A and B are shown apart, each in its own frame.
Chain A
């Protein structure tokens, strides 16, 4: 029994009478484990209730998690995922091919804003009453009246020889004496991903910031269609290169749910080890980069040095510095020997010692303090309103971690402390990362202890046509959602990965306000959103 039981009882009247085959009544009776999405209840409602549901949900303090659509013959299926206390539900509605409209949820949930615009661009589904009718994912690579994720749109499309630049996007304008615009990107000055930022500034102060992303849209959702599970896992591992383990794991978890496969315990623990190693590597890189953006080179050099040592161990134990393709459907591709375990443990001891020394030096540095404290402040209220996750949410008091609150194997066998800060500034996001590294080091030690003998893969079973799965894991940026539906013959019909950056990016527009323009790089780095994971 959890909140869904009472919540759904209140809304039983909304069930779409034309879809009586879904055993909704069972949920209300408290039986949760028969959903097509395994542990997640799917609630199908009539399209007219779409917005009403959001209004009730926000009153009940449900967090908006993800939104995606899918074409099913002449109809379109639209999904929205919500979470509270670690329990997820998927809201679903079918809309007819002749009138592709749905009342928006974005007026209720700001987090749904860009997601609905993405669905609009990719499927041509109009969200009535949406507060922002500008395109989002579409630039100029396909026409306004073409929708790449529709079945009649070929994956090759019909692109021009040279795709024109994305002109005439209606950025918010500033008026008044002394207000000026600064366009930045898509090609940035550093070795980072492309995106456009439009600042309105007065003197050095940021009056408004608008993000214009979508430059690295690679059509991942489209080219996923028709892939085999192995091939899909490879693609998922390249949704965002820094979260390769996270995305790959989420996609494999979804596929394994659909195929009704239980992964061997040893494989789950190895997945846990590589996921935590990925978290630590990225946090070390980010902490160094934050220091670098305020010209504190000592820390950057130290952190990148530790990161390099860490990656070298990845290469020698798992065969890949960034751990790509270690997680595969039905298991992992790489076992860890006794010798490797010793190496991993030695690594942990070394990094713990070194980190303690470095953090002491960092903590005592007042010039760093001057730059990081109070800068880039994100209030707990805004963090909650956008449903921010990972270190961004946790640095602003959002006490949520999939590993603890919706524990999946192997995290269901361990207990650990979720890092939390409530200052909401860059320093908080820096220190949360440090706390998370310490927690992850303990987790890896525990996973090595728990490592049983046994297989690292199991036999794959071809899932039934239309079987679905929803993978939910905690990547280094926070909660990753991965939706999979199978077609016939072991082929993927639909893949939707929701990177945590999708929830975190809008927070950057808020936390940068009233900071000086020269502090924007460090604000951005402290959030470290993935462009690739956002643009898909």
Chain B
């Protein structure tokens, strides 16, 4: 237990914070996101992530925005386990046809008002896979998309910037 506590204390807080920003861009971005969320969503926005055929690359980077460096939750953005709890659907992948109905049902299960963000090149335009017997291509071919975040996969910073763009609408 002592080893554990020692490691916690010596690690300190790595979250890139306001007073001594290691990454100024991230910090300004975060503050801006927080301001808009406070104004429009009373300080909290709930995201449900849906993988609709991604290669798992986007999921790795979406995970990363929850790591102690980005810690997106401090700005009021958190991930939820059910679409019924969500304000925003974060959809990745070139919508494999085998996931089409599941995506539609997830969309229907999300209460209004809701926003859909297509994350990654596949979700934005079909990416490396495009449209085929197995894929529907862009997410907008299946459900209405409010916002896109490109990249293969988008970096955590690009994801945060993208979410900021959503709040701007």
* B135 vs chain A, min Cβ distance (A): 5
Residues of A within 8 A of B1 (CB): 364-365
Q: Are A190 and B133 neighbours in the complex by a CB distance under 8 Å?
A: no
Q: Out of B58, B132, B153, which one reaches A219, CB within 8 Å?
A: B132
Closest to B121 in A: A238
5 pairs of A and B residues whose beta carbons are closest in the complex: A157-B133, A241-B57, A219-B134, A189-B81, A141-B97
Q: Are B98 and A532 neighbours in the complex by a CB distance under 8 Å?
A: no
B144 interface contact, C-beta 8 A: no
Task: Say what secondary structure dominates the interface of chain A.
Answer: loop
Q: Are B8 and A298 neighbours in the complex by a CB distance under 8 Å?
A: yes
B128 interface contact, C-beta 8 A: yes
- Interface of chain B residues 133 through 161 with chain A (CB within 8 A): 133-135, 152-153, 155
Q: Out of A148, A223, A361, which one reaches B7, CB within 8 Å?
A: A361
Q: Are B98 and A163 neighbours in the complex by a CB distance under 8 Å?
A: yes
Query: 11 A-B residue contacts at CB 8 Å?
Result: A158-B133, A187-B50, A191-B59, A219-B134, A238-B127, A241-B55, A304-B64, A357-B6, A530-B56, A535-B96, A535-B98
* A142 vs chain B, min Cβ distance (A): 6
Residues of B within 8 A of A531 (CB): 56
* B118 vs chain A, min Cβ distance (A): 16
Q: Are A190 and B7 neighbours in the complex by a CB distance under 8 Å?
A: no
Given contacts A165-B101, A189-B81, A218-B135, contact A285 B60 (CB under 8 A): yes
Q: Out of A155, A192, A235, which one reaches B51, CB within 8 Å?
A: A192
* B149 vs chain A, min Cβ distance (A): 15
Q: Out of B57, B79, B101, B102, which one reaches A244, CB within 8 Å?
A: B57
Given contacts A192-B51, A218-B94, contact A223 B56 (CB under 8 A): no
Residues of B within 8 A of A307 (CB): 64, 67
B104 interface contact, C-beta 8 A: yes
Which B residues lie at the A interface, using CB under 8 A?
1, 3-4, 6-8, 11, 14, 49-64, 66-69, 79, 81-83, 93-94, 96-102, 104, 106, 127-135, 152-153, 155
Residues of A within 8 A of B79 (CB): 191
* B35 vs chain A, min Cβ distance (A): 25
What string of 1s and 0s marks CB contacts (under 8 Å) between A354-396 and chain B?
0001101100110000000000000000000000000000000
Q: Are B102 and A194 neighbours in the complex by a CB distance under 8 Å?
A: yes
Q: Are B57 and A324 neighbours in the complex by a CB distance under 8 Å?
A: yes
> Which stretch (A79-87, A93-101, A209-217, A260-268) binds chain B?
A209-217
* A85 vs chain B, min Cβ distance (A): 33
Given contacts A187-B106, A223-B130, contact A532 B99 (CB under 8 A): no
A125 interface contact, C-beta 8 A: no
A-B contact count (CB 8 A): 178
Please, how many angstroms separate the alpha-carbon atoms of A532 and B155 in the complex?
20
Residues of B within 8 A of A156 (CB): 131-133
Residues of B within 8 A of A360 (CB): 3
Q: Are A308 and B132 neighbours in the complex by a CB distance under 8 Å?
A: no
* B68 vs chain A, min Cβ distance (A): 5
Q: Out of A142, A234, A308, which one reaches B64, CB within 8 Å?
A: A308
Please, how many angstroms separate the alpha-carbon atoms of A217 and B100 in the complex?
12
Q: Are A190 and B81 neighbours in the complex by a CB distance under 8 Å?
A: yes
Closest to A304 in B: B67
A159 interface contact, C-beta 8 A: yes
Q: Are B129 and A163 neighbours in the complex by a CB distance under 8 Å?
A: no
Please, how many angstroms separate the alpha-carbon atoms of A139 and B1 in the complex?
50
Please, how many angstroms separate the alpha-carbon atoms of A191 and B48 in the complex?
8
Report the count of interface residues on A (CB-CB < 8 A): 65
A153 interface contact, C-beta 8 A: yes
Q: Out of A215, A308, A361, which one reaches B69, CB within 8 Å?
A: A308
Please, how many angstroms separate the alpha-carbon atoms of A240 and B60 in the complex?
11
- Interface of chain A residues 171 through 213 with chain B (CB within 8 A): 186-187, 189-194
Given contacts A189-B82, A215-B102, A298-B8, contact A322 B133 (CB under 8 A): no
Closest to B80 in A: A189
Please, how many angstroms separate the alpha-carbon atoms of A244 and B56 in the complex?
10
Q: Are B56 and A217 neighbours in the complex by a CB distance under 8 Å?
A: no
Closest to B23 in A: A312
Q: Out of A159, A214, A532, which one reaches B55, CB within 8 Å?
A: A532
Residues of A within 8 A of B93 (CB): 216
Q: Are A153 and B55 neighbours in the complex by a CB distance under 8 Å?
A: no
A242 interface contact, C-beta 8 A: yes
Q: Out of B104, B129, B131, which one reaches A162, CB within 8 Å?
A: B104
A301 interface contact, C-beta 8 A: yes
What string of 1s and 0s marks CB contacts (under 8 Å) between A295-332 and chain B?
00010011011011001000100000110100000000
Residues of B within 8 A of A163 (CB): 97-98, 100-101
Given contacts A192-B51, A298-B4, A324-B57, contact A142 B133 (CB under 8 A): yes
Residues of B within 8 A of A153 (CB): 133
Residues of B within 8 A of A216 (CB): 51, 53-54, 93, 96, 98-99
Q: Are B51 and A193 neighbours in the complex by a CB distance under 8 Å?
A: yes
* A515 vs chain B, min Cβ distance (A): 21
Q: Are B55 and A223 neighbours in the complex by a CB distance under 8 Å?
A: no
- Interface of chain A residues 140 through 171 with chain B (CB within 8 A): 140-142, 148, 153-159, 162-166
Residues of B within 8 A of A302 (CB): 7, 11
Residues of A within 8 A of B6 (CB): 357, 361
Closest to A312 in B: B69
A494 interface contact, C-beta 8 A: no
* B27 vs chain A, min Cβ distance (A): 16
Closest to A358 in B: B7
Please, how many angstroms separate the alpha-carbon atoms of A222 and B63 in the complex?
30
* B134 vs chain A, min Cβ distance (A): 3
Residues of B within 8 A of A324 (CB): 57, 152
A41 interface contact, C-beta 8 A: no
Closest to B83 in A: A187
Please, how many angstroms separate the alpha-carbon atoms of A349 and B149 in the complex?
36
* A92 vs chain B, min Cβ distance (A): 27
Q: Are A222 and B134 neighbours in the complex by a CB distance under 8 Å?
A: yes
Q: Are A240 and B59 neighbours in the complex by a CB distance under 8 Å?
A: no
Q: Are A166 and B98 neighbours in the complex by a CB distance under 8 Å?
A: yes
Residues of A within 8 A of B58 (CB): 241
Residues of A within 8 A of B11 (CB): 302, 305
Q: Are B133 and A222 neighbours in the complex by a CB distance under 8 Å?
A: yes
A239 interface contact, C-beta 8 A: yes
